[in-house]
Amino acid sequence: MSRPTNGAIVLVDWRRGGLPKEPTNLRPSIVVEDSRIFDEEHLNLIVVPITTDVNLAIPALSVAIDPSPQNGCKGRCYALAFNVTSVSGGRIKPTNGSVTGVQLHAIRQKIGICVGLT
């Protein structure tokens, strides 16, 4: 399997070892790392989870993503930038979906807010 690139929507298996208030189940996520930095052999990917539950989305720290043929989402969902994390490639299952460059940029800006860069 080739390494998913930035903006790709992947399925992450969070069913093993999750604690309360952490993502659980098999959850779609967006790869937000800069694909130019990490080579194919790097074991982890940097992702943000996606949810359809608006109650989990903090408006200032989430990006709304409407369904499109490119992303394959069935309804409006939210990229939770405040839950950015590194995840083992062994937990990842690729999909054919991806977000737009504009959406990826917006998610990265929200991550920057979360970690105090802006």
In a domain, 2, yes or no: no
Count of domains for the chain: 1
In a domain, 105, yes or no: yes
Q: Which helix (H) or strand (E) holds 13?
A: strand 8-13
Query: What is the pLDDT at residue 2?
Result: 83
Output DSSP code: residue 75.
S
Query: What is the pLDDT at residue 11?
Result: 95
Query: What is the pLDDT at residue 17?
Result: 66
Q: Which helix (H) or strand (E) holds 10?
A: strand 8-13
Looking up residue 59, the CATH number of its domain turns out to be 2.30.30.110
Query: What is the pLDDT at residue 36?
Result: 86
> Domain range spanning residue 52?
8-114
Query: What is the pLDDT at residue 63?
Result: 98
Output DSSP code: residue 20.
T
Q: Is the Cα torsion angle 28, 32, 35, 40 positive or negative in sign?
A: negative
Mean pLDDT for each consecutive 10-residue tract of the chain (118 residues)? 90 76 81 88 92 95 98 96 93 95 98 91
Asked whether the beta carbons of 1 and 94 are under 8 A apart, the reply is: yes
In a domain, 3, yes or no: no
